[in-house]
Amino acid sequence: MKTHTEYLYFHTKKKREYLRITDKVEEIVRRSEVREGMVLVSAMHITAGVYVNDAESGLIDDIDRWLESLTPYGAYPQVQWPPPGQTGAVTATSAPYRHHETGEDNGDSHLKSLLVHHQVIVPITEGRLDLGTWQQVYYAEFDGQRRKRVVVKVMGA
Amino acid sequence: MKTHTEYLYFHTKKKREYLRITDKVEEIVRRSEVREGMVLVSAMHITAGVYVNDAESGLIDDIDRWLESLTPYGAYPQVQWPPPGQTGAVTATSAPYRHHETGEDNGDSHLKSLLVHHQVIVPITEGRLDLGTWQQVYYAEFDGQRRKRVVVKVMGA
Amino acid sequence: MKTHTEYLYFHTKKKREYLRITDKVEEIVRRSEVREGMVLVSAMHITAGVYVNDAESGLIDDIDRWLESLTPYGAYPQVQWPPPGQTGAVTATSAPYRHHETGEDNGDSHLKSLLVHHQVIVPITEGRLDLGTWQQVYYAEFDGQRRKRVVVKVMGA
């Protein structure tokens, strides 16, 4: 059994950015000389994610808007739904994240990381990433403008 | 170390369907002759998911309604929460997905795939899937009525 | 190739609790004597999750409030967004979970499990969990006050 470990580094210009890293992962797998196995791609920070989806700029905008809707920056929406069995308006109390009491302002980034998930496993078959036609590996930065790290661990034969 | 790779194919009648695939995964593990290790079950499409949960039809309906609420078909809800520290109505601008500018109409399916996640790893112990009593592996189709593929990769000894 | 399997047991006092289990996972990896590889930490129940994030009590409160907002206990919010291209109030029909027709009352716990995801993989490098400075492994209980189990499977060399 072989293992091979490398780290990718990112320092984004914007707070939130979505970077396609399929080629970097593929290169690491090539260097590992693993023909059959798996590669784990896992963010080493708690305000970032790694996911597999489409390299289409409109969709990336949709993903970003969607994440911001469900986990808004700055203040946390405590949703009040209508009572059971009734139809009615949805109201919310917009309270600050409790995490911000520590002096941080990135409560939303932690929730975005949980929502997207911080890691994927890509199978390796005949020395290549065994991905579908449209599948691309993305690093999702939710609290950038600083140095961040992703571990890429290859395991197989 | 052994590895063993097979592919499952699905062609659902409906746009969204939830298919229990535990037995198919178990059969592949049996054929692999791996006694101790892991099996990766990973959708090869970006509008599908793989998850582990209950084989209860009411719950599957709940999952489907819940996904549709958070990632609605057709138009994207840009949520406006009350200002920080205030209570009030939640309003939204229902804007089309930008992804649809490409001619696609499946923006919601991509978000559902991200939300549910597209893969699981099941541990293999003594030649069997090491799942809890109620854990079942599901393929979640979010843009069906076409041929789709799932990779099942077994690794172990 | 080595594999090593252990199970962790939890019986929480509250319905929902978030337990840091990094040290327990690290001990199991030490006992496995694996120097390079991966460890899978996976809930064996469908109303629990395993995730990696920060050990900060305010953030844990934020995570709990956020999960309860998106997957409320008791009754399910069927959200009605404004029509495509329009801005307006968000309304909802608060209908009971269909899963509750079975006599259960934990529909929300299943959805929380899907949202957080029920497993993580931690890379093992030089015999240690290869985690970032702030990364901690958490067991998230969403339907506690009963005995629950997590499988920890180490694989490597």
- Do residue C62 and residue A99 have CB atoms under 8 angstroms apart? yes
Count CB-CB contacts under 10 A for residue A100.
Answer: 17
Q: How far apart (Å, rounded) are the C-alpha atoms in residues B146 and B13?
A: 8
Q: Average pLDDT over chain C, rounded to whole? A: 96
**DSSP-based three-state secondary structure for A147:** strand
Q: How far apart (Å, rounded) are the C-alpha atoms in residues C116 and C63?
A: 10
pLDDT above 90 (res C96):
no
Q: Average pLDDT over chain A, rounded to whole? A: 96
Q: Distance from B17 to chain A by nearest Cα, in Å?
A: 20
Residues on chain A bordering chain C, Cβ-to-Cβ distance under 8 angstroms: 1, 3, 5, 40, 42-46, 70-71, 76-79, 81-90, 97-102, 107, 110-111, 113-115, 117-119, 121, 149, 151, 153, 155
Contact of B107 with B22, CB cutoff 8 Å: no
Least confident interval from A84-98, B27-41, C49-63, C122-136: A84-98
- Do residue A117 and residue B117 have CB atoms under 8 angstroms apart? yes
Of B147, B115, B154, give the one whose Cα is nearest residue B8.
B147
Considering only the beta carbons, identify the residue of C40, C76, C89 that sits closest to B121.
C40
Considering only the beta carbons, identify the residue of A88, A111, A155 that sits closest to C156.
A155
Mean pLDDT by 10 residues, chain B (157 residues): 97 98 98 98 98 98 95 87 90 91 96 98 98 98 98 98
Per CB-CB distance under 8 Å, the chain C contacts of B52 are 46, 118
pLDDT, residue B49, reads 98
Terminal Cα distance for chain A, rounded: 5
Q: What is the ipTM of this complex?
A: 0.97
Q: pLDDT digits over C30-64, tens only?
A: 999 999 999 999 999 999 999 999 999 999 999 99
Mean pLDDT of the A128-141 span: 98
Considering only the beta carbons, identify the residue of C52, C62, C132 that sits closest to A107.
C62
